[in-house]
Amino acid sequence: MKPAGGAGVGGPRPDPADPSLHASSAGESAVPESAVDPGVDHSALDPAVVETPIGLVDLERVRANARGVASYAAEHGLSWRPHVKTHKSLAVARIQLEAGARGLTVATLREAEVMSTLTPDILLAYPPVGEAKLARLLRLPAPVDLKVALDSEEVLRGVARAAGAAGREVGVLVEQDVGLGRVGLAEPGAVARLARMAADLDGVRFRGVLFYPGHIRMAVEDQDAHLGLVAERVAATLDALGAVGLRAEIVSGGSTPTLWRSHEVAGLTEIRSGSCIYFDREAVDVGVATPDDIAYTVLATVVSTAVPGRAVVDAGSKALSKEVRGEGGGFGTLLDRPDIAVVSLSEEHGVLDLSGSDWIPVVGERVRIVPNHVCVSVNLQDHLLARDSGGHHLLRLEARGREPWTG
Ligand SMILES: Cc1ncc(COP(=O)(O)O)c(C=O)c1O
């Protein structure tokens, strides 16, 4: 076992003092160290010369989105513990925390390692299975208030054993399935039984319940019945917990399609909504965001207009991802011409359908594409081009990838 903070293929741990976490490797910064935002290369860039495709983030909109979610949450007495899988960036996480987020939610141990340099409040919304994940989890810095979501006795016992061996206590949120059918126990009684077990085991502490309404992706005004069912299931679980002598200190839910209706689930204490920091085509289609709220697009260049009625851009599936969402068809739309969709993708080619538009693109022209699902597009980028009041900079994605761990 390597000491904490050791480097190498076996398991590099991000160290808050590590300069590589706080500045881009791409050149010297003219800005004094104290003024440098972690993850931002402050050497100014001319966006016109940046090679495409590249994800383009508007940091002013990011701040506005963060303020909007934080104030919605505060208005309804909810906490916001945003999922960082969307942005994987220290600078964006810092914006969320400054706006009022109480902590951060992660899905991978790499995200946990990187984000624990910013806040001690980390929720791993993913069951840690296997010795490698458990060892890595328990190597997070001691001040981190660790919380994990799980749905089985096997995982619970594994976490309790590993935590006990490490001399730590890990908070447990029992995951309930509220309709997605992915992870989580469906029966309120089963949630309560696992919660009771967590409350009785050494090494872990029962903190509450977690659910993810990821099946609710229809228009906001059509969500009534679905949200009603979620609320019923959560209420039944809170009753079942009471019947075994437990109270959930944390009731964690939320998603972006249901963002502004989260408070309709009685008993909820926090939302983990993540993609709302950038929003995407789905968010606009569902009605939780307007095109003005979109903070992330893929900047692309027209490379061919040879086929009549089409234009080809250099953003393919390796920049946009091939994720299909909603009824609209295609893989994204142009920010400035929402009637033009990316209708097919090869790895490095995106095909725009121009029928229905009078736009006559020319080779070399740049466009901004709103992807169907922002998180998977961001994850395909090495860096993002960040636009802020002071100009354009490169934004690093410190928590991207898994960073090999071999013990
Ligand atoms: C467990 C969990 N929590 C929260 C989120 C955030 O959802 P959204 O991006 O819709 O806000 C996700 C998204 O996949 C998730 O899987």
Determine the atom of ligand 1 nearest the C-alpha atom of 273. 11
Structure tokens, 107: 């899905």
| Span from the CA of 255 to the centroid of ligand 1 (angstroms) | 5
CA distances from 198 to 126, 194, 306 (A): 16, 6, 63
For residue 75, being part of any structural domain is answered with: yes
For ligand 1, mutation pick of 81, 85, 321, 375 (most atoms within 8 Å of CB) = 85
Determine the atom of ligand 1 nearest the C-alpha atom of 210. 1
| Span from the CA of 106 to the centroid of ligand 1 (angstroms) | 10
325 lines ligand 1 (CB under 6 A): no
d(CA 84, CA 89): 8
Q: Could you tell me if 299 and 50 are in contact, meaning their C-beta atoms sit under 8 angstroms apart?
A: yes
Quick check: helix, strand or coil at residue 376?
helix
For residue 324, being part of any structural domain is answered with: no
77-108 pLDDT per residue, tens: 999 999 999 999 999 999 999 999 999 999 99
- Closest by Cα among 168, 173, 172, 174 to 203: 168
d(CA 12, CA 46): 34
CA distances from 240 to 201, 211, 237, 245, 263 (A): 19, 16, 5, 9, 21
pLDDT number for residue 41: 52
What is the domain count for the chain? 1
Please identify every stretch of the chain with a pLDDT value under 70, giving residue numbers as ranges.
1-43
For residue 352, being part of any structural domain is answered with: no
For residue 316, being part of any structural domain is answered with: no
pLDDT number for residue 39: 53
Torsion of CA 318, 319, 324, 329, to 10 degrees: -120
Quick check: helix, strand or coil at residue 295?
coil
The answer for residues whose C-beta is within 8 angstroms of residue 282's C-beta and 6 or more apart is 217, 257, 325, 326, 372, 373
Structure tokens, 53: 């495709």
- pTM for this one? 0.90
For residue 397, being part of any structural domain is answered with: no
How far is Cα of residue 289 from the mean position of the Cα atoms in its chain? Answer: 17
The residue written with tokens 């989890």 in the block is 137
CA angle 219, 225, 229 (to 5 degrees): 125
Mean residue pLDDT across the chain? 91
In the chain, the amino acid numbered 40 is: V
Q: What are phi and psi of 348, to 5 degrees?
A: -120, 15
State the residue range of the domain holding 158. 59-278
d(CA 314, CA 147): 41
212 lines ligand 1 (CB under 6 A): yes
- What radius of gyration do the chain's Cα atoms show? 22
pLDDT number for residue 196: 98
274 lines ligand 1 (CB under 6 A): yes
Determine the atom of ligand 1 nearest the C-alpha atom of 375. 9
255 lines ligand 1 (CB under 6 A): yes
For residue 172, being part of any structural domain is answered with: yes
Q: How far apart are the first and last CA of the chain?
A: 6
83 lines ligand 1 (CB under 6 A): yes
273 lines ligand 1 (CB under 6 A): yes
The residue written with tokens 């977690």 in the block is 210
For residue 70, being part of any structural domain is answered with: yes
DSSP characters over 287-341: TS--GGG--EEEEEEEEE--STTEEEES--HHHH-----SSS-SSEEESS-TT-B
CA dihedral sign of residues 394, 399, 401, 404: positive
DSSP designation for 130? S
For residue 126, being part of any structural domain is answered with: yes
pLDDT number for residue 40: 52
| Span from the CA of 356 to the centroid of ligand 1 (angstroms) | 35
| Span from the CA of 283 to the centroid of ligand 1 (angstroms) | 13
pLDDT number for residue 43: 61
Domain CATH code at residue 267:
3.20.20.10
272 lines ligand 1 (CB under 6 A): yes
CA dihedral sign of residues 366, 372, 375, 381: negative
